[in-house]
Every structure is written in structure tokens, then in C-alpha cells.
């Protein structure tokens, strides 16, 4: 009733997706994604009048692409001759076959269907309203909220932590142990967004809005965009109450919204610079005993991101938010000694420093940063 899944006929000759994998996606979307999408982003359009989202495998997708929505399909053929005039999601066949991979399945495709349907809603509204497309980090970051929330709903329904409470590292580890040492399909999206955030914040240069020159290969504006939108949902949407942030996110994609960063400033009453500084403060004070007025509430990011033993990119020294003063042993703070810390930053990049007196009472810090960079001091004890 909600999805129709097809496979490219020539591709099926060599790699047929299983009925079991297709059924997993059908069930996951109906149980964990459809209502959430409507509550958080709006009801998808129905250009073709069939009442369903159509999913098809697409052999021409790059290996690095799990799935995509093409905006052309949401236009009429009069404005886009190649349009299929339907709500259509293209999937790589690996998204399905990986769910059948024996003792080490990969369920990224399940949350991805929620991510892609969110695109259908927001892109259709953008086209219909005649406004400019969202910046990529906004469009993908908010779609990652759909990916994450579908997983939170599925995990809670399967006995995991209730939607809205702060996810901890112990909850994730205990659930993996209870599932025989592998992630369950329900919790997959939660672990995935946390894993993607680690290299984005712990490596330099980083950026919330673009991929800066010299960035780590795993740096991701999907992760950066999710982190910012998760902060907005927690701090401005009241996400600690289950699904309460839905109306906030829906206001950003509404047909009558301004779109992009303007929609965010309209919903919060704050400029981007103010929100960015608030997020930096929330990161710096997260789990240190002094919660700011605007805070992360649905994740204990310190412990939730400290669950990996490897590879190195997922297990950097120290803990979230990984100050650049962290040494190889994981100690984040440095004493009041003569030292220099330098490095490059991307646009809307983040570098955090943590200093702790070892007996002296005075410290002098000199900072040189290119305009329009700024400094946020979050705590002095």
C-alpha cells in the first residue's frame, strides 16, 4: 500500500534482489517511516495518483551512492522532458543484497528510504513554491534526521530506548551484545549517524557547510548537517518529549516556508551565527555538569560516540567534541604552559581548545583567525 519495489530487468539476470530483502524495506517503511515523514516533513505528493512511493534499482548509480531522488521526476514533462512524473527513488542493488549478507548484514537501505522520501517532500515543495533549492548541507542534514528518526522509532518498538530519551554508549553496546555481536536492523540508523559524526568533528579542517580542501576522506556535510539539525530539534523543538520536534522540522519544509537558512532563522528567531555559537556552547558544555539553556538532549554524545575500538577514524584519541588540545593518550586538557596550536579551518569549521590550570592563576591566550572567524569562550572556572 505504501511502496512498490521494482528491479531493473537486465540487472536481475545477474543479481536478483530477494523477496525477503524487499519485504524488509516494505515493512520498515510502513511501520517506522511513513507516519514519521508526514509528522516531521509533510505528506509526500502523489503526482502519478497511485498512492505509493515507487522504488526501483538503478544499475547506473555510482558504487558510493546508496540511493537518490532526481528532482526532474517531480516536474511535469512540459518543464522537464525526461521526467517520469512520479515519486520515484532510485536504489543501488547493493542496498538490498547487503541485507542478505549472512552473519554480517548491512541495513543502511532501511533508513535510507526514509531519507529519500524526505527529499521527495521537500524538493516537491521547493519546486511548487518556486523558491531556490536548499543548501546541500541543509537538505541532506535534515534528510538525515528522517534517517535517524526512523531508526529511533523502529528500535524503540523492538524494545530499545524510548524515543526522546538520551541515547548512551552503554545502551548501544548492550543492544549489540544482546543481538549476538551485530547491530540489529532497527538500531542501524542510530549507530550510523553517530559513526558518521566522529570523523566530521574529530578531523581537521572540518566544515559544517562544505568539504574544505585537505579534509579527511570521511568528512561529511551529511553528518555535519545532521548534527546541526539534531541540535535544533533538541534545543528548539523539545525533542526530549517523544516526536515533539516534528512540528519544528515540518515548519522548515512547509510549502509556505522561506526555505534554507531563512526558514531556520524564521523558526528560531535567531541568525545562523547565533545558532552556530549556541551549538558550539552546547558541544563544549555537553556532559560536563553545566547544561546551557540550549542543549543536546536526545543523545549523550560523549559516550555514544565512544563505542568503537577501530578503525582509527572511528576511535580517535579523546572523546566528543575532540578538542585539538587532546594528546595521543586521550587527555583533552593542557596546562597553563607556553604552547602553540595551529591549523586550517573550513567555512563554519570548528576547533575546540581546553585548558586547565596546573597551579598557576593566570593564562594569556593570543588568537589569530581569518575573518569572519570568531571565538566562543564557554566556561571559565
Q: How confident is the model at residue 371 (pLDDT cuts 50, 70, 90)?
A: confident
Contact indicator for 53, 2 with CB cutoff of 8 Å: yes
Q: What is the pLDDT of residue 336?
A: 82
Q: How confident is the model at residue 260 (pLDDT cuts 50, 70, 90)?
A: very high
300, pLDDT greater than 90: yes
Q: What is the mean pLDDT of the chain?
A: 94
> CA 29 to CA 106: how far, in whole Å?
17
Q: At residue 55, what are phi and psi to the nearest 5 degrees? A: -115, 130
287, pLDDT greater than 90: no
The DSSP line for 156-219 is HHTTSPPTTSPB-HHHHHHHHHHTTSS--TTTHHHHHHHHHHHHHHHSSS--SSS--TT--TT-
CB atoms within 10 A of CB 140: 22
What would the grid cell of residue 142 be?
535534515
360, pLDDT greater than 80: no
Q: Work out the percent of the chain whose per-residue pLDDT is above 90.
A: 84
381, pLDDT greater than 80: no
- Interval 199-228: pLDDT, tens: 999 999 999 999 999 999 999 999 999 999
Q: Which of 126-130, 219-223, 336-340, 360-364 has the lowest mean pLDDT?
A: 360-364
- Is 142 or 9 the better-scoring residue by pLDDT? 142
Question: Alpha helix locations (H) across the chain?
Answer: 9-12, 19-28, 34-40, 94-97, 108-129, 136-157, 169-178, 188-202, 221-237, 246-253, 260-268, 272-285, 301-304
| Residues 159, 146, 250, 22, Cα dihedral to 10° | -90
- Is 381 or 292 the better-scoring residue by pLDDT? 292
Q: What is the pLDDT of residue 321?
A: 94
What would the grid cell of residue 121 be?
517532500
Report the half-sphere exposure of 283 (CA within 13 A, side-chain side).
Answer: 28
Q: What is the pLDDT of residue 96?
A: 96
Q: Rounded mean pLDDT of 66-74? A: 97
Measured in residues, the chain has a length of 381
Cβ neighbours for 273, distance < 8 A, ≥ 6 positions apart: 374
Contact indicator for 204, 351 with CB cutoff of 8 Å: yes
H or E segment and range at residue 90: strand 88-91
- Interval 151-176: pLDDT, tens: 999 999 999 999 999 999 999 999 99
361, pLDDT greater than 80: no
- Interval 344-355: pLDDT, tens: 999 999 999 998
359, pLDDT greater than 80: no
Q: How confident is the model at residue 373 (pLDDT cuts 50, 70, 90)?
A: confident
Q: Rounded mean pLDDT of 19-41? A: 98
Cell numbers 517531480 label which residue? Answer: 74
Q: Rounded mean pLDDT of 9-28? A: 93
- Interval 72-122: pLDDT, tens: 999 999 999 999 999 999 999 999 999 998 888 999 999 999 999 999 999
| Residues 297, 302, 305, 311, Cα dihedral to 10° | 170
Cβ neighbours for 158, distance < 8 A, ≥ 6 positions apart: 184, 186
Amino acid at each position: 500500500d505504501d511502496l512498490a519495489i521494482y528491479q531493473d530487468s537486465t540487472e536481475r539476470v545477474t543479481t536478483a534482489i530477494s523477496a525477503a530483502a524487499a519485504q524488509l524495506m516494505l515493512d520498515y517503511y510502513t511501520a517506522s517511516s511513513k507516519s514519521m515523514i508526514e509528522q516531521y516533513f509533510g505528506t509526500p505528493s502523489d503526482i502519478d495518483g497511485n498512492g505509493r512511493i515507487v522504488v526501483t534499482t538503478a544499475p547506473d548509480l555510482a558504487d558510493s551512492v546508496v540511493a537518490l531522488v532526481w528532482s526532474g521526476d517531480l516536474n511535469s514533462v512540459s518543464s522537464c522532458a525526461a521526467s517520469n512524473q512520479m515519486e520515484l527513488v532510485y536504489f543501488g542493488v547493493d542496498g538490498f543484497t547487503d541485507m542478505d549478507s549472512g552473519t554480517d548484514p548491512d541495513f543502511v537501505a532501511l533508513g535510507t528510504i526514509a531519507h529519500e522520501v524526505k527529499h521527495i517532500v521537500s524538493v516537491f515543495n521547493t519546486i511548487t513554491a518556486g523558491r531556490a533549492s536548499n543548501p546541500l548541507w541543509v537538505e541532506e542534514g535534515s534528510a538525515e534526521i528522517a534517517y535517524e528518526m526512523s531508526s529511533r522509532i523502529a528500535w524503540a518498538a523492538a524494545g530499545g530506548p524510548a524515543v526522546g530519551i538520551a541515547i548512551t554508549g552503554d545502551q548501544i553496546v548492550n543492544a549489540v551484545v544482546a543481538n549476538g555481536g551485530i547491530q540489529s536492523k532497527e538500531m542501524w540508523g542510530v549507530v550510523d549517524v553517530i559513526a558518521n559524526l566522529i570523523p566530521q568533528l574529530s578531523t581537521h579542517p572540518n566544515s559544517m557547510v562544505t568539504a574544505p580542501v585537505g579534509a579527511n576522506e570521511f568528512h561529511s556535510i551529511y553528518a555535519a548537517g545532521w548534527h546541526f539539525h539534531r541540535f535544533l530539534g533538541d534545543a528548539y523543538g523539545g525533542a526530549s518529549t517523544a516526536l515533539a520536534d516534528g512540528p519544528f522540522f515540518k515548519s522548515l519544509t512547509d510549502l509556505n516556508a522561506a526555505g534554507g537558512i531563512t526558514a531556520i532563522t524564521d523558526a528560531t528567531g535567531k541568525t545562523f551565527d547565533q545558532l552556530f555559537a549556541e551549538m558550539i556552547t552546547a558541544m563544549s558544555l555537553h556532559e560536563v555538569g553545566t547544561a546551557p539553556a540550549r542543549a543536546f538532549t536526545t543523545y549523550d554524545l560523549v559516550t555514544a560516540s565512544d563505542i568503537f575500538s577501530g578503525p582509527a577514524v572511528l576511535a580517535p584519541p579523546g572523546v566528543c567534541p575532540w578538542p585539538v588540545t587532546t594528546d595521543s593518550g586521550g587527555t583533552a586538557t593542557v596546562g597553563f604552559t607556553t604552547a602553540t596550536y595551529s591549523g586550517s579551518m573550513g567555512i563554519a569549521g570548528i576547533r575546540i581548545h581546553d585548558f586547565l590550570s596546573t597551579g598557576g592563576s593566570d593564562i594569556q591566550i593570543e588568537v589569530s583567525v581569518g575573518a569572519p572567524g570568531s571565538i566562543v569562550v564557554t566556561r571559565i572556572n
